[in-house]
Structure 1
Amino acid sequence: MEIKKSLSADLEGKKGTGLLMGFVLALSAMFVAFEWTQHDKKVIETEPVFTAAIEEDMIPITQQPEVVAPPPAAAPKIAEIINIVDNETDLVEEEVETSEEVNQAIVTTPGTGTTAVATGPVGPVVEEVDENQIYDIVEENPRFPGGEEACMKWLSDNIKYPPICVEQG
C-alpha cells in the first residue's frame, strides 16, 4: 500500500492501543452498571379520608316453569292399493345387441352414470409429457457433458484472467 501522507499522520500503529482503550472503557461501564444499587424506599400507609359504603341489590333467582309439549298428531293412514295382474299376460322378450369385441373396454363416467365403449386396444395409458413444463424440484441434477474433467478443461480454456489483476498480484 502506498503512503499518501506523512508518517506522523499514519494511524495504523495506534490501532491496537485504541482498541484496548475501548475495551477498558466498555468493561468499566458494565462494572459500574452491575454494582449500581438503589436504597429501599419506605411506603407509609395512611387511612383513607373517605370511605363509601356500596350497597348491592340482590336480584332474586327466577325459574321458568317447564312447559310440556303436546304429543305429535298421529300420521294419517294411507290405504294400500294393490294392482292384481293376470298370470296369463304375455311378456315381450327384448334381445340386447352389443357391439363389444375382445379388445374394447367399457368406461363408466362417474357422477352421470353413463357408460361408453372405448375403442382401440386396451392397455396401460401413457401420459403425454409437456416439454414447456417448469419443474420446482428435479430428480437428477444437471451435469456438464463429459463430466467434471471436461468442465474444468473448458473453464481453463475459455476463462482469461484480466492482465491488470495479474500485474497487481
Structure 2
Amino acid sequence: MDAQEILKADLDDLVFEGKNKSYGAYELRKKYGRHIMIALLISVGFYITAFVTPYLFALMKPDPVVVAKKEIKYTELSEPPPIDKNTPPPPPPDLPPPPPKTIKFTPPVIKPDELVKEEDVPPPIEEMQQAEISTVDVDADATYDFSAETQVVEEKAPEIFMYVEQMPEFPGGQAELLKYLQKNLRYPAAARENGIEGKVVLQFVVDEGGKISEIQTVRDIGGGCAEESIRVVRSMPPWKPGKQNGNAVKVYFKLPVTFKLGTE
C-alpha cells in the first residue's frame, strides 16, 4: 500500500493489510458502526414507546363520572324550656270507680226432713246472737284448687365472666407466678423419654374468694404434661379475685404452661 492509499485508508484497512479479509473479522469490524447505530435507534424507539404508551392509554380512557355530593341539612332545635321545681305535678286522670262487690243470693230450697244434712241446718238463734259480725265479704261460689303445685323460685347462679375490668392475679403478680411454676413443675417421665415439648393451655375459674375451680385442658401435648399442669394449678394458693364495677366476681382464666427439654 503506497502513501496515497494510506492517507485514504481507515483503521480497519491498516490493521488487515496483508491478512485474509474474507475470514469474517474484517467484515464485522467494517459494519460495527452500522450495527451500533441500528441498536441505538431500536433502543431509543423502545424507550419512547414505553413512555408514550401510558399517556396514550390515559387519553383513550373515558373521563370519570363526577358524583355530586349530597348536602346534609341540619335542623337546629330550640332549647327546652326550663323546669320549674315549684310547679305541682299534673293531677291523675279521672278513672271510673271500681264496680261494687256483690254477693250471690242463694234462694232457699224446701226439702224433706230426711234429705236435710246436719251441716245444712242453720245454727240456733242463741249462737248467732253471740257470734261476731265479719267485715270481709266471702264469695260462696269461690273455689280453690289445692292440687296445684306451688311454684318454687330457684336462685340464679352467679354469672361467670370471660373478661372483667380487673382480671384475677396470682399473689405477687406475673413474676411470682413464673417462679411458682418453675419451682413446682416437674417434667413427666413419659414426655421426657419421647422428646415431647411444647405448651399446655389450661382454663379454670377464679371465684370471689380467689379459689381455683373447674380446671379444664384447652390444649394438650401428651406425655402427661396436662396432668402435671393441673396438679400444679390445684396446689396454688388463693389468687387475687377479679373485679367488675368494684365487686369481686367469678372469672374464667387461661394459663399457658410451657414444657421444654433441659429444664425442670
Range class of TM-score, shorter chain: under 0.3
Question: Which has the greater radius of gyration?
Answer: 2
Query: What's the TM-score once normalised by structure 2's chain length?
Result: 0.13
Normalised TM-score (structure 1): 0.19
Name the one with the larger strand percent.
Answer: 2
